[in-house]
């Protein structure tokens, strides 16, 4: 494995933002709101993690960012592109050059009959055809940490960790501006998990690629500079350098941290008190007559 960067000009990442993002799944007989107004700003080159319980809407948000489907309402902007109104052709073009989505499960990102090297080459085909200057597949694979011996072997003979590295390589083969990764460390042992996380971080640092990563793993989340917690289809909080924050939404809502919600059940009346001296806000339940 080497951290040597190609002499090609590294590309800067793309900013990603959502405003009032709503997505409703139409199931048999009833509708399910997966996202209920997500506002999110991700700066170019930022590395953030999406956290939240199962069913909170993380993967839906990631899929919307990847253009897998259109939102029911709201706006999604990736760099200069507005995904909610983008044409299929532009979307294909965006996927071939700018936005890379890494699905959960390494093999879902790979063509099973190709080797790792062939998969990377396959991923680069359209971008190369469009004139994009890309590193050789072996170079990409080397950068993600796959040894030469592994790159031409059938995928079925690779370990889960190596498969995940191959999947990363195929995903970032086009040097995208945004890398969207859905639980890239699930089903991996600690060493493999750390290796995968380290390589994604390296890509982020080296190429400035904006990385949005969905994870359930608290250890992974702790290692990320910024985390966004999705809860009940909204942004429920943010973590920055290990510190947990609640985020005021565009319509003025303030989701409570989970430990607070246990103490303040739904229906509790609260009021905010601002201490002008130390510039603090105090949350006072109705029966607290301090």
Binding stretches for another protein (CB under 8 A)? 63, 66, 68-69, 88-89, 92-97, 100-101, 103, 105-114, 118, 122-123, 125-127, 155-156, 170, 174
Q: How far is the CB of 215 from another protein (least distance, A)?
A: 19
Cα dihedral 56→161→221→143 (10° resolution): -120
Smallest gap from Cβ 81 to another protein, in A, equals 13
Q: For residue 206, with 0-12 CB atoms within 10 Å meaning exposed, 13-18 middle and 19 or more buried, which class applies? A: middle
Q: How far apart are CA 106 and CA 123, in angstroms?
A: 15
The 10 Å Cβ neighbour count of residue 154 is 11
CB of residue 110 vs another protein: minimum separation in angstroms? Answer: 7
Nearer to another protein, 26 or 289 (CB): 26
Q: How far is the CB of 12 from another protein (least distance, A)?
A: 20
Q: CB of residue 219 vs another protein: minimum separation in angstroms? A: 22
- Asked if residues 163 and 187 have their Cβ atoms less than 8 Å apart, the reply is no
Closest CB to another protein among residues 110, 178: 110
- Write down the least CB distance from residue 145 to another protein, Å: 21
- Nearer residue to another protein within complex by CB, 122 or 202: 122
Nearest to another protein of 109, 204 (CB atom):
109
Show the beta-strand stretches assigned E in 63-162. 73-78, 81-82, 99-102
Distance CA 109, CA 131 (A): 24
| C-alpha dist (Å) from residue 137 to 123, 155, 217, 248, 272 | 9, 16, 30, 44, 57
* Nearest to another protein of 37, 176 (CB atom): 176
Cβ-Cβ contacts under 8 Å for 149 (sequence gap 6 or more): none
Sequential DSSP letters for 215-238: ---HHHHHHSSEEEEEETTEEEEE
Q: Which CB sits closer to another protein, 134 or 224?
A: 134
Look at residues 134, 212, 131, 69 and name the one whose alpha carbon lies nearest to residue 123.
Answer: 134
Distance between CA atoms of 128 and 134, rounded to whole angstroms?
7
Query: Closest approach of Cβ 95 to another protein, in Å?
Result: 4
The smaller minimum CB distance to another protein, of residues 170 and 203, is found at 170
């Amino acid at each position: 494995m080497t951290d040597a960067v190609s002499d090609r000009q590294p590309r800067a990442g793309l900013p990603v933002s959502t405003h009032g993002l709503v997505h409703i799944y139409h199931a048999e007989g009833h509708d399910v709101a997966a996202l209920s107004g997500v506002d999110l700003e991700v700066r170019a080159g930022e590395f953030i993690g999406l956290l939240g319980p199962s069913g909170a809407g993380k993967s839906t948000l990631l899929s919307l960012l990847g253009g897998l489907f259109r939102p029911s309402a709201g706006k999604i902007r990736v760099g200069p592109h507005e995904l909610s109104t983008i044409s299929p052709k532009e979307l294909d073009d965006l996927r071939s050059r700018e936005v890379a989505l890494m699905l959960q499960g390494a093999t879902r990102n790979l063509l099973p009959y190709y080797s790792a090297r062939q998969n990377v080459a396959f991923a680069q085909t359209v971008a190369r055809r469009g004139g994009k200057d890309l590193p050789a597949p072996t170079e990409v694979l080397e950068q993600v940490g796959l040894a030469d011996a592994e790159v031409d072997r059938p995928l079925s003979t690779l370990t889960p960790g190596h498969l995940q590295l191959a999947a990363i390589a195929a995903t970032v083969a086009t040097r995208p501006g945004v890398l969207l990764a859905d639980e890239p460390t699930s089903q991996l042992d600690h060493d493999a998990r750390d290796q995968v996380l380290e390589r994604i971080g390296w890509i982020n640092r080296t190429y400035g690629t904006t990385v949005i990563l969905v994870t359930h793993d608290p250890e992974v989340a702790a290692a990320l500079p910024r985390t966004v917690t999705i809860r009940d289809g909204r942004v429920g909080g943010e973590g920055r350098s290990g510190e947990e924050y609640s985020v005021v939404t565009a319509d003025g809502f303030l989701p409570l941290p989970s430990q607070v919600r246990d103490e303040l059940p739904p229906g509790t009346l609260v009021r905010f008190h601002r201490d002008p001296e130390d510039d603090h806000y105090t949350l006072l339940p109705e029966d607290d007559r301090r």
